[in-house]
Chains A and B, each alone.
Chain A
Amino acid sequence: MWHRSASFILDKNQNDTVYPADSVTLTPPPPSSISTPQNPNPNLNRNMSMSAYYQTRAAHHGVVTSDWLAQSQEAATRAVATGGQEIVDGGKSGRAFSVIDEFNNWRKQPDLAEAVAAIRALAAVIRNSEAKTMMELEIELKKASDSLKSWDTTSISLTAGCDLFMRYVTRTSALEYEDFNSARSRLIERAEKFGEISYKARKIIAMLSQDFIFDGCTILVHGFSRVVMEVLKMAAQNKKLFRVLCTEGRPDRSGLRLANELAKLDVPVKLLIDSAVAYTMDEVDMVFVGADGVVESGGIINMMGTYQIALVAHSMNKPVYVAAESYKFARLYPLDQKDMGPALRPIDFGVPIPSKVEVETSARDYTPPQYLTLLFTDLGVLTPSVVSDELIQLYL
């Protein structure tokens, strides 16, 4: 799949593009400073638990706290112990390599996607592995991948990223080499390449989508997707004249953050409440969303509210564009909204709710492929039916 990556588009435009000043480095950052705890402790005895995935996103926009770090250490210890590797202490020095620690190190950069962090961590597993045969190495990789996936079972892109990494790396013909070391270095090469492609995916997607944003257009955005942010940032830097309508995105209030970021770029922004989407759909030229995961049918799983917006846009003949990296392609196939694993997020209404009133706390919904127009991925601009094509070829 990735030998056909559209990364050529990066090389073509290297001279013209101005890279943003806050570009992210590739080495893992030093542990960040500790500050007062702002985020809710997930170990509280509550009836509904917050999905760790959404917790992370909240954490990235807060600060890494000491008890959060302690929990991640605990998770690492638990996961490593069940994986059959050496038990890890709290200390940072003089201890064996642990994939969860590596993962957490990578994850601390707020701009890095979780799946990319996982991919980098798995590549590090290969590098630091002491296995002597290919079979041993594959088993180690599988264990590491399982422990990463169990860290958060509700995150689709994490699961998909790990699975795709395993398929991409282990199907290399290098496995037929006699010499284990050369086979291993080939594996490392492929792993690094996969990490590179996944990391650059956002830039590639941003460049591919520039053709679709024309001067004077109005874009409706839902939810705070870093990929969509990249797209709009690049469009603003290319001096395109457009304006953005963004939904408030309750309960995350992610729309407010997005409006903030766009205002810094001098892009005209208008905030809407979620219910005002149909009201303003007439003046919208296109809808832009990100995706938590892209499923086999070509549909997407994304923040709650995406399905609604896609339905309204479809009935008014407005195109819906999805910006998603290719490592988010998952082997799921939901038939309806309830056919997915649950991901819950507690909602704060600001006033106390009587206990006998139920609240719908699901954090995401499924948008079927017939309501999506195009997918912008690092493999190119695709129609929804191509997702299954790519997955079949990879799992051949």
Chain B
Amino acid sequence: MQFDDQGRVNKSKKRAVFNQPEAKNRVELFRHLPQYEHGSQLTDLESKFLELDSMHPAVYKVGVQYLAGDVTGGNARCIAMLRAFQEVINDYSTPPGKTLVRDLTAKISSYVSFLIECRPLSMSMGNAIRFQKSRIAKLPLTLSETEAKAALCNDIDRFINEKIILADKVIVRHAATKVRDGDVLLTYGSSCVVEMILLYAHELGKQFRVVVVDSRPKHEGQALLRRLLAKGLSCTYTHINAVSYIMHEVTRVFLGASSVLSNGTTYSRVGTACVAMVAHAFRVPVLICCEAYKFHERVQLDSICSNELGDSNDIARVPGRPDVNSMDNRTNEKNLQFLNLMYDATPSEYVSMIITDYGMIPPTSVPVIVREYRREYLLI
């Protein structure tokens, strides 16, 4: 839904589970994306805990985790959501006069809209939901309720196992062949797959060092840095402003992705495009590590038509530095708008190779994978 369409926005507000005041000072170019006042959202939702009788507690818990930022990263969010759906299915009983297929699908849809209110869906979650709905729709009518529920829970387990956990293992093994002794590997932000690759290569005994590039406001790289240091890797930590300064010593760049689109564009954390472009200018190969379930048929040419807007206060305020906080409390000024984008799109010419669980492929082959392996969903 495009959020600059006032009529539809009002309609969806009436169905909303909790009240979210829209941000007043918004950038014109991004009016089609939702942006809310972040200060009161969490307390508002928490206060609604006892009033939400239509909401399953597992889904509510996941929603709160998304809103608070406790669960981040495409894989983690997807797994949390699917586990919550598993609990929903286990506790489900068909109300009299309704069929399981239609009622369950309606319930899942309502839960999904609640989760979207907490935080817009990532593409991996979108694909997982589509898979879930197609599995429900394909249930043979002869199954009893317990059998149907068991089959659905089984499907979710298989999906998580095959498409996420095993896929990660395969990716790690492929990627480790591209790490040689004496390499300097650069990574941006915190991607769970890239972390696994670095730790696995270190376990194999390869001699390399890591450069972790980080950026405001989330500083996601710091957690990755801490975990790598705990395992004994030698690391360098720098900010994205210095990426062109450090790129001349780098031999490979490993990046994660939220999704890869059909024209080979990589959709991932804001700043990734910058790092990829600088690496390309220095002729350093860029390797994107992404599971195949995150591939999407959509084509996106820029980072504007579809994105996510974060909290503007995060940019205005620098925690712990009162001397540079002159932007603080100025978020409502008429001539000043803050823009906190969460994702950006990296064009395919900056990417050397994409490592997926189907092997190492060039960015031009993403639509082939989507075409050949989507049928598999229907055949599980």
Contact = CB atoms under 8 A, between A and B. Distances in A.
Interface of A: 296-298, 331, 333, 335-336, 339, 369, 385, 388-389, 392-393, 395-396
A61 to B, nearest CB: 36
B358 interface: yes
Contact of A296 (B178, B360, B372): B360
Interface in B335-380: 352-353, 358-362, 364-365, 368-369, 372
B285 interface: yes
A305 B306 CA distance: 46
Interface string B279-298: 00000010100000000000
14 contacts: A296-B362, A297-B353, A298-B362, A331-B359, A333-B360, A336-B285, A385-B364, A385-B365, A392-B359, A392-B361, A392-B365, A392-B368, A393-B372, A396-B372
A394 to B, nearest CB: 11
A369 B372 CA distance: 23
Contacts of A392: 358-359, 361, 365, 368-369, 372
Contacts of B358: 392
A388 B364 contact: yes
A27 B362 CA distance: 41
Contacts of B368: 388-389, 392-393
Given A385-B362, A392-B368, A395-B359, 17 more contacts: A296-B360, A296-B361, A296-B362, A297-B352, A297-B362, A298-B362, A331-B359, A333-B353, A333-B360, A335-B285, A335-B353, A336-B285, A392-B358, A392-B359, A392-B365, A392-B369, A393-B372
Nearest to B365: A388
Q: Interface on chain B toward A: helix, strand, loop, or mixed SS?
A: mixed
A298 B353 CA distance: 12
A1 to B, nearest CB: 13
Interface of B: 178, 252, 285, 287, 352-353, 358-362, 364-365, 368-369, 372
A395 B368 CA distance: 12
A173 to B, nearest CB: 16
A396 B361 CA distance: 14
B208 to A, nearest CB: 15
Q: Interface on chain A toward B: helix, strand, loop, or mixed SS?
A: loop
A57 B132 CA distance: 57
Nearest to B287: A335
Contact of A335 (B252, B359, B361, B369): B252
A388 B178 contact: no
A339 B254 CA distance: 16
A335 B369 CA distance: 21
Contacts of B362: 296-298, 369, 385, 388
Contacts of B285: 335-336
Contacts of B359: 296, 331, 392, 395
A385 B367 CA distance: 12
A393 B358 CA distance: 11
A392 B359 CA distance: 9
Q: Which 8 A-B pairs have the closest CB atoms?
A: A385-B364, A388-B365, A335-B285, A333-B360, A297-B362, A389-B368, A392-B368, A388-B362
Contacts of B353: 297, 333, 335
A335 B252 CA distance: 9
Contacts of A296: 359-362
Contacts of A393: 368, 372
A90 B360 CA distance: 44
Nearest to A383: B364
A388 B352 contact: no
Contacts of A336: 285
A352 B368 CA distance: 54
Contacts of A396: 372
A171 B148 CA distance: 34
Nearest to A392: B368
A389 B365 CA distance: 6
Contacts of B360: 296, 333
Contacts of A385: 362, 364-365
- Report which residue of A296, A298, A395 has the largest number of chain B beta carbons within 10 angstroms of its beta carbon: A296
Given A335-B352, A335-B353, A336-B285, A388 B372 contact: no
A58 to B, nearest CB: 31
A388 B252 contact: no
A385 B364 CA distance: 6
A215 to B, nearest CB: 35
Contacts of A369: 362
A105 to B, nearest CB: 35
A385 B360 CA distance: 13
Contacts of B361: 296, 388, 392
B264 to A, nearest CB: 10
Nearest to B352: A335
A274 to B, nearest CB: 24
Contacts of B178: 335, 339
Nearest to B362: A297
Nearest to A332: B360
A336 B368 CA distance: 25
Contacts of A388: 361-362, 364-365, 368
B228 to A, nearest CB: 23
- Report which residue of B178, B358, B359 has the largest number of chain A beta carbons within 10 angstroms of its beta carbon: B359
A30 B292 CA distance: 52
A206 to B, nearest CB: 28
Nearest to B366: A388
Contacts of B369: 392
A369 B365 CA distance: 14
A251 to B, nearest CB: 28
- Report which residue of B285, B353, B362, B368 has the largest number of chain A beta carbons within 10 angstroms of its beta carbon: B362
A383 to B, nearest CB: 9
A296 B365 CA distance: 10
A331 B360 CA distance: 9
Nearest to A297: B362
A379 B348 CA distance: 26
A299 B216 CA distance: 39
- Report which residue of B178, B287, B368, B369 has the largest number of chain A beta carbons within 10 angstroms of its beta carbon: B368
Nearest to A387: B362
Contacts of A298: 362
